[in-house]
A and B are shown apart, each in its own frame.
Chain A
Amino acid sequence: MQAMSLRLLKYALNPEYAEPRFFNTPETLRDSYDVVIIGGGGHGLACAYHLAAEHGIKRVAVIEKGYLGGGNTGRNTTIIRSNYLTPEGVLFYKRSVELFQTLSDRLDLNLFFSNRGHFTLAHSEATLRTMRWRAEVNQHYGVNSELVSAADVKAACPQIDLNCGGNHPILGALYHAPGAIARHDAVAWGYARRASQMGVEIFQHTDCTGIEIESGRVVAVNTTRGRIKTGKVVSAVAGSTPTLLKMAGLKSPVDIVPLQACVSEPMKAWLDTIIVSGTLHVYVSQTARGELVMGAAVDPAELHSTRSSLEFVTSLADQMLDLFPFLAGVKIVRQWGGMADMTPDFAPVMGKTEVGGFYLDAGWGTWGFKATPVCGETMAYTVAHDTNHRLIEAFGMDRFKRLAMMGEKGAAAVGH
């Protein structure tokens, strides 16, 4: 408390005082780096941070083709949870939630990590069954999720229409107490700043143009700022994954599909929890600023674009009014999109690849933001030791060659 007040005091007394730059912006690339991370979003920056902080690897370059955090990190709806279906998923995201809970302190930046509780509404017997399944698996691993009744939903969110306008009424929900939201941009900034402080170099507006491989190992990365010699490359580029993998001569089971979201005008706080409906394909939370941030399912066809569509926002409004009819007069201010790198089994693709020194962090579909911290931790470990971290062993790309898909899709409709 004291340190924070001191900072504000300094500012108040000296209007010219500003904090030091959050992240460096070096002009020129060095000749070589120990690790080159392609992708300056939350995942890439978290990996850089962990490499420097936990493995003493600081001669790291982060290459970002746009502005820092400008990809999916800056476009998601910021929901953080660990109520997944598979044991591997639960353990993975559980670790991420744990890391998130102390991340503001660790990064010395308020990420507005707000524990709100998370309801996945069930509108049918079949969904209720699946919620029970998730609750059982969660509880087995010590994750606080439980199946609750419609009355419980109403008690936590009195404004909800349990009847949903008359079709598909809410029968119950999976309640996940650790569910939270955070300020997505700040997560990227926080990791970037700490990584920068430890010597990581971040190059924005720098495109990767090629990856050089000799005898099955990475030897260099070509960028619009020049060539970098390196023996370790991390790809954390979400929607650009297919393009980058092509440079490395790899294929992945990732398909790129637009994912859209929108935000309402700010209003006084009324929604204290996070509401997700699989049947209605919508989810909503209210930010500290008072805006409702809303999203739905991915678009139905492949497209490498962040364009917005009218169908998305009219369909979302239609469904949202079933849950909260009184929002009819509330206005949507802005809609945007990102490119989701979807996998066939709704689980990521992570770790070592067939190319020596080329590490993949992809397949984040609609579930990437919440995994930011654990990705940083596990990918950094994987890169430092050239061995897959145990939490990501199940996410290797080779599972598809064995036709051993992860079971997250077992029940999933809208994955938020």
Chain B
Amino acid sequence: MKHFDCPIIGRRPAQEFICSGGMIAIVQMTDQDAAREALFFGDATARVKREWWYHKPSRLWFLFQRDTATDVVHSIEVATRVSTDDGV
């Protein structure tokens, strides 16, 4: 079982989480054309991505930096105010 070492909740099994990717940031985009483009087209290659992960039991959202080639998680932080400048 994969485990994630998270702030606040500690080391939890992956099955307690839902991955939601990065699309949520689109809701804040002001350029509507760019927003519509981002709805479907992104860089889907294997790389380190910022992803939103939800811990179901505690209802906390976390931001992961995860390598989608190796499945290695480089960092985990609690999701607070997130600026869209960071990119999806």
Contacts and interface: CB of A to CB of B under 8 A. Distances in A.
- Asked if chains A and B come from one complex, the reply is yes
A344 B41 CA distance: 11
Interface residues of B, number: 22
A284 to B, nearest CB: 24
Contacts of B70: 305
B45 A243 contact: yes
Contacts of A307: 71
Contacts of A20: none
Interface string B38-53: 0111111110010100
Most chain-B CB neighbours within 10 Å: which of A302, A307, A344, A401? A302
A63 to B, nearest CB: 19
Given A302-B68, A344-B40, A242 B19 contact: no
Given A246-B43, A251-B42, A403 B36 contact: yes
A301 B44 contact: no
Contact of B41 (A243, A253, A300, A304): A253
A303 interface: yes
A400 B40 contact: yes
A252 interface: yes
A304 B68 contact: yes
A242 B15 contact: no
Nearest to A301: B19
B36 A256 contact: no
A307 B39 CA distance: 28
Interface string A251-289: 111111000000000000000000000000000000000
Given A243-B45, A305-B69, A300 B40 contact: no
A12 interface: no
Contacts of B79: none
Interface size class of A (residues with CB under 8 A): 20 to 34
B18 interface: yes
A175 B78 CA distance: 48
A300 B18 contact: yes
Nearest to A300: B19
Nearest to B49: A302
Interface in A272-325: 300-305, 307, 310-311
B47 to A, nearest CB: 9
B1 interface: yes
B40 A253 contact: yes
A242 B43 contact: yes
Contacts of A305: 69-71
Contacts of A303: 68-69, 71
A311 B39 CA distance: 30
A246 B15 contact: no
B71 A255 contact: no
Given A253-B40, A300-B19, A246 B45 contact: yes
A311 B16 CA distance: 12
A351 B44 CA distance: 20
Given A301-B19, A304-B69, A311-B15, A252 B36 contact: no
B1 A310 contact: yes
A304 B46 contact: yes
Nearest to A309: B2
A237 to B, nearest CB: 12
A242 B45 CA distance: 5
**Shortest 4 CB-CB distances between A and B: which pairs?**
A242-B44, A304-B46, A253-B40, A301-B19
Interface of A: 241-243, 246, 251-256, 300-305, 307, 310-311, 344, 400-401, 403
5 contacts: A243-B45, A251-B41, A301-B19, A310-B1, A401-B40
Given A302-B49, A304-B45, 10 more contacts: A243-B46, A246-B43, A246-B45, A256-B68, A302-B44, A304-B46, A304-B69, A310-B1, A311-B15, A400-B40
